[in-house]
Structure 1
Amino acid sequence: MPYQRLIVERQNSVLRVTLNRFEARNALDALAMDELSRAFRDAAKDSDIRVAVLSGAGSDFCAGGDLVWMSQCARAPMAKNKKEAQRLLDMFVAIDEAPFAVVAKVQGNCFGAGLGLIGACDVVVAASDSRFAFSEAKLGLIPAVVSTFVIPKIGFGQARRLYVTAQIFSAQFGQDIGLVHEIADAAGLENKVQQTIVHVLSTAPGTTALSKAYLRQFEGLNRKGRVANAVNALAKIRATPQAKEGFTAFFEKRQPKWSL
């Protein structure tokens, strides 16, 4: 089924997913959410995909939730309202749980639900003049669903400040609080993304999925559980063919076969 809200392109092991509703600043309506969920769920079934780049067409990455969609949710019966909130969550989860690295390429404005998108990504590369805001409070809302994906990165202290003020902040501030990882000027943004792709492709296939699954499990464990899980995880991964190839390549002073 063709996409109406996205452009999805495959370049060898790299998937490009572009929000393509630039006339609405890539605001997320129900169709956009469903298509993003589908794009990432389908890609998760393809073991050859190593990296996905999530970007926005036009001048902005994502203005947040579509206001028409949100106003319709507000007027809907509670059961329908909850279903639409679940739709938003499902989209974030599809990105967050992707077994490959997901890189956000951010330019212009990234507001509201757009922050949930980048919170669900593994690496965020932003233009130096991009702007961010948890803008929900200005619409009488709170960043409820978004919180699951941004608080682990920015912490409760920054979340409290940014949620109650709804203030706009810069890419540099976003980097300072852990939301943004790399900053480049507009001309160098794609080059910075390419550098990240090269780094990911230099790693052993499968380790990205294992690392992400390990971190998701880590969050829900107490100290005792984390220690036990760490021992099991390391012992299992060291016994895999890819780990053995990594060790062999190191001692033979050559590149591992997966990077050739």
Structure 2
Amino acid sequence: MATYRHITVTYTHQGRVAVVTLQRPEVRNAFNAEMMQELIDAFQTLHQSSQLHAVVLTGAGPIFCAGADIRMMQESVHYSEEQNREDALRLSDLMRVINTCPCPVVGRVSGAAMGGGVGLVAVCDIVIAAADTRFALSEVKLGIAPAAISPYVLRKIGETHARALFVTGERFTAERARQIGLVHVVVPAEQLDTALESTLKELLSSAPQAMRVCKTLATTVGQMPSEEAREYTAATIARLRTSPEGQEGLTAFLEKRTPKWTMHEEEKM
């Protein structure tokens, strides 16, 4: 695994879970160009790991992510329009590479998620947040807009909430984030890791290749014409039923035993 300056990538649960941690707590894990590129590189590497059951995205220290780094914003004041376009495309690339991660991405969110930090939350498949976390799409307060992250935020919260939160830039609670679909689970801060482990336990009991197919279904089928969806879903289930995982899962169910993919590596030997 590559060495990064502003993030860390570690593995847990016999290598079946990767943990990507933002490592700039002194600036509330705010983005700079280096961090964004490191995240892109790390997730591109994780895309290639076929046995991962999950990737956890979190931040070091009490704050998940405060959005753009102040120094980065200061520099952007002097950028040309083309330089600003390139900067926005880097953020867009980051959102896309996390959003398209083949296995589920679980957000462990605490403290605050502001601006681009909300974008990171939006591209996670499952989000667990501490109850005292505060969120804001605060770009409008700086005379700009959440443009690069908007496709992903809109898919999560819908137009009606985006119309309000994009233009006010107001702060909102974790409970409101849950109500609008940005967050899935809200727990007291001291229970955050317990809730994360509970979610990982569920994911570790699921077949890793089937999970990838399920994620693709969730993100694509709703946008297909009905006949295309009909053919695609029929072909998908036929392929899965005849796959090694599908055969093992159905056989294990009929034999009333645990599927082999839930076993730890040392148990397989």
TM-score (norm 1): 0.95
| Deviation of the 1:242 alpha carbon | 0.9
Q: Conserved in 1, the CA contact under 8 Å of 2:106 and 2:126? A: yes
Distance in 2 of aligned mates of 1:163 and 1:226 = 33
Q: Conserved in 2, the CA contact under 8 Å of 1:97 and 1:212? A: no
Which of 114, 117, 140 is matched with 2:117 structurally? 114
| Deviation of the 1:153 alpha carbon | 1.3
Q: Conserved in 1, the CA contact under 8 Å of 2:122 and 2:182? A: yes
Q: Does 1:8 align with 2:9?
A: yes
Q: Does 1:66 align with 2:64?
A: no
Which of 103, 108, 115 is matched with 1:105 structurally? 108
Q: Conserved in 2, the CA contact under 8 Å of 1:6 and 1:18? A: yes
Amino acid in structure 1 at the alignment position of 2:70: L
Q: In the alignment, what sits opposite 1:53?
A: 56
**Partner secondary structure for residue 183 of structure 1:** strand
Distance in 2 of aligned mates of 1:220 and 1:72 = 39
Deviating more after overlay: 102-111 vs 214-223: 214-223
Deviating more after overlay: 130-139 vs 201-210: 201-210
Amino acid in structure 2 at the alignment position of 1:121: C
Q: In the alignment, what sits opposite 1:40?
A: 43
Distance in 1 of aligned mates of 2:93 and 2:108 = 21
Q: Describe the superposition over 1:116-146 as per-residue Cα deviations: whole angstroms up to 9, x where unpaired.
A: 1011111100001101011010011111111
Distance in 2 of aligned mates of 1:100 and 1:124 = 14
| Deviation of the 1:219 alpha carbon | 4.4
Distance in 2 of aligned mates of 1:18 and 1:75 = 30
Distance in 1 of aligned mates of 2:254 and 2:199 = 26
Distance in 2 of aligned mates of 1:111 and 1:228 = 41
Distance in 2 of aligned mates of 1:174 and 1:41 = 28
Q: Does 1:214 align with 2:217?
A: yes
Q: Does 1:96 align with 2:95?
A: no
Q: Conserved in 1, the CA contact under 8 Å of 2:52 and 2:208? A: no
Distance in 2 of aligned mates of 1:166 and 1:202 = 40
Distance in 2 of aligned mates of 1:218 and 1:83 = 31
Distance in 2 of aligned mates of 1:50 and 1:257 = 14
User: Structure 2: where are the runs of 5+ without partners?
Assistant: 264-269
| Deviation of the 1:44 alpha carbon | 1.5
Q: Describe the superposition over 1:67-96 as per-residue Cα deviations: whole angstroms up to 9, x where unpaired.
A: 321342342222222111111011111111
| Deviation of the 1:29 alpha carbon | 0.7
Distance in 2 of aligned mates of 1:151 and 1:190 = 28
Distance in 2 of aligned mates of 1:254 and 1:233 = 25
| Deviation of the 1:2 alpha carbon | 2.1
Distance in 2 of aligned mates of 1:229 and 1:154 = 27
Q: Does 1:150 align with 2:153?
A: yes
TM-score (norm 2): 0.92
Q: Conserved in 1, the CA contact under 8 Å of 2:8 and 2:21? A: yes
* Cα distance, 1:223–1:189 mapped onto 2, change above 3 Å: same
Q: In the alignment, what sits opposite 2:266?
A: none
Identity of paired residues, percent?
A: 38
Q: Conserved in 2, the CA contact under 8 Å of 1:127 and 1:185? A: yes
Runs of 4+ in 1 over 3 A off after TM superposition: none
Amino acid in structure 1 at the alignment position of 2:101: A
Counterparts of 1:131-210 in structure 2, within 5 Å, are 131-210=134-213
Q: Does 1:233 align with 2:236?
A: yes
Distance in 2 of aligned mates of 1:78 and 1:137 = 18
Distance in 1 of aligned mates of 2:140 and 2:225 = 33
Deviating more after overlay: 63-72 vs 178-187: 63-72
Amino acid in structure 1 at the alignment position of 2:8: I
Q: Conserved in 2, the CA contact under 8 Å of 1:123 and 1:181? A: yes
Deviating more after overlay: 133-142 vs 93-102: 93-102
